[in-house]
Amino acid sequence: METLPRDDRAPTPPRRGVPRGVRWAIALAIVVLAVAGLKATSSHTSSADAPAILDPNVTQPAENSFFPTTRNVVGQPAPTATFTRFDGSSASFADYAGRPMVVNFWSSTCTPCLAEMPDLEAVHQAYGDRVAFVGVDVRDPLSSGQTMADKTGVTYDLVRDPDGSLIASIGGSGLPTTLLVKADGTVVRVAGPGAVKPDDLRRWIDQDLLS
């Protein structure tokens, strides 16, 4: 076969490359997918590691709640931490030694607490000096707690737990939570989270604290 001179050959069709616009679109899509994957991984890690904030309106413990739910304080001594009363004086549960106690943890933002506190006051009045009632205001400014106390009409001792450490020490997982403590300082019952019924509270006082 005769070979044509190079100058007489048909020109070789040029290779068709990917248009520049398409290349930029592909590169941009890769970058977007990489960034999305990184954000998803970061979000998952943060939500798993960060503690959930206590919701005062929750009446059941939430998974990964801010306060631990695994500790069982029944049969253990009441917390020994010092706290501040609403009148500014310092106190601790040891100051109530020799008297059984009903300790109620509450907050001004807690709807069940608002409904429960007048019932607690009625039970408090029924038992008088035989049982000490202590209301622990959790994570509230003093003004908010005092407004709540005035609204509900409670007259029992009110103390503050501004950083939530006191309720955390008894394994509290929500509000309201009620603690029953014998005269010797031993915790015999933890009720909640959730409002207690007055009839239940009277029964618990009679059988757990005064029997």
CATH number at residue 184: 3.40.30.10
Looking at the fold, whether 113 and 40 belong to one and the same domain comes out as no
Residue 29 lies in a domain: yes
Q: How confident is the model at residue 67 (pLDDT cuts 50, 70, 90)?
A: very low
Residue 61 has pLDDT above 60, yes or no: no
Q: How confident is the model at residue 150 (pLDDT cuts 50, 70, 90)?
A: very high
Q: Rounded CA gap, 59 and 14, in Å? A: 74
More confidently predicted of 59 and 121: 121
Q: Rounded CA gap, 150 and 193, in Å? A: 23
Looking at the fold, whether 151 and 106 belong to one and the same domain comes out as yes
* pLDDT value at residue 20: 60
Residue 98 lies in a domain: yes
Q: What is the rounded (10 degree) CA torsion for 41, 44, 47, 49?
A: -70
Looking at the fold, whether 178 and 99 belong to one and the same domain comes out as yes
Tell me how crowded residue 163 is: count the other CB atoms within 10 A of its CB: 10
Q: Rounded CA gap, 190 and 155, in Å? A: 22
Residue 57 has pLDDT above 60, yes or no: no
Residue 203 lies in a domain: yes
> Mean pLDDT throughout 173-202?
96
> Mean pLDDT throughout 38-42?
42
Looking at the fold, whether 109 and 183 belong to one and the same domain comes out as yes
Looking at the fold, whether 104 and 178 belong to one and the same domain comes out as yes
Q: Tokens 């009839």, residue?
A: 199
Total domains, the chain = 2
Share of the chain above pLDDT 90, in %: 64
Residue 59 lies in a domain: no
* pLDDT value at residue 17: 56
Q: Rounded CA gap, 99 and 117, in Å? A: 21
Residue 105 has pLDDT above 90, yes or no: yes
Q: What 3-state DSSP class applies to 160? A: strand
Looking at the fold, whether 34 and 94 belong to one and the same domain comes out as no
DSSP sequence for 11-76? PPPPP-PPPHHHHHHHHHHHHHHHHHHHHHHHHHHHHHHSPPPP-TT--SPPTT-SS-SS---TTS
Looking at the fold, whether 171 and 116 belong to one and the same domain comes out as yes
Range of the domain at 25: 14-50
Average pLDDT across the chain, whole number: 79
Residue 72 lies in a domain: no
Instruction: Write out the two tokens for 70.
Output: 């695994």
Looking at the fold, whether 116 and 196 belong to one and the same domain comes out as yes
Q: Rounded CA gap, 80 and 45, in Å? A: 36
More confidently predicted of 83 and 40: 83
Looking at the fold, whether 44 and 89 belong to one and the same domain comes out as no
Residue 23 has pLDDT above 70, yes or no: no
